[in-house]
Chain A
Amino acid sequence: LAKTTQPISMDSYEGQEVNITCSHNNIATNDYITWYQQFPSQGPRFIIQGYKTKVTNEVASLFIPADRKSSTLSLPRVSLSDTAVYYCLVGAYTGTASKLTFGTGTRLQVTL
């Protein structure tokens, strides 16, 4: 499985855009990139997934360059409630029945 590297922590003020970059230098051709969010005392929650270029949903955007060796999760105008740990996961698509491999994640702290 491709190893991912993320910053351990990030700080932001409310209302700012936050970009969290994940490195996955040995990503394989059939690997997808998935981001999860985890609030304290809760289980992780799926945010977004992509293979290449840009993906956007109601929560976030995911930017993936052509070489796919990194990806950036973009959270627009964060609020205090976005304070959480964000995980970048890389794994092959084998349907919906694949185990997830979590790294250490990025702890985002949003303040006023």
Chain B
Amino acid sequence: EAGVTQFPSHSVIEKGQTVTLRCDPISGHDNLYWYRRVMGKEIKFLLHFVKESKQDESGMPNNRFLAERTGGTYSTLKVQPAELEDSGVYFCASSQWGSGSYNEQFFGPGTRLTVL
């Protein structure tokens, strides 16, 4: 079974540009999460989808970040316009509704975003 995939693996853009990150969760997983780790900091929660609906977006830093999950499948996270402090690694995770272990989320490899 394929795991959580993220694209691209790396992205280097200039300040003020737009970048869109994509996450494909494990098939059948209704829950999809975005996290990020900026340089030297802890991994922080950004938002949570249940299917196509935003369940919790309390971690989104500001309105330059827009997340969507079309049809409850893959998700995109757009940063527009990007700022220097947006540099970091963006992780996507998914989990199955009502599955076994509490809080067992399956993470993707992350997208490393560098804003110059």
Contacts and interface: CB of A to CB of B under 8 A. Distances in A.
B87 interface: no
A70 to B, nearest CB: 19
B68 to A, nearest CB: 18
Interface residues of A, number: 24
Contact of B103 (A41, A42, A49, A104): A49
Contacts of B101: 46, 49
B104 A96 contact: yes
B45 interface: yes
Contact of B105 (A32, A42, A100): A100
Contact of B95 (A49, A87, A96): A96
Given A43-B110, A95-B98, A97-B31, A34 B42 contact: no
Given A96-B99, A97-B95, A97-B97, A43 B42 contact: no
Interface in A32-63: 32, 34, 41-46, 49
B22 interface: no
Interface string B29-42: 00101010000001
Interface of B: 4, 31, 33, 35, 42-45, 48, 50, 55-56, 59, 91-93, 95-99, 101-110
Given A95-B98, A99-B33, 7 more contacts: A32-B103, A42-B107, A95-B97, A98-B102, A98-B103, A100-B33, A105-B42
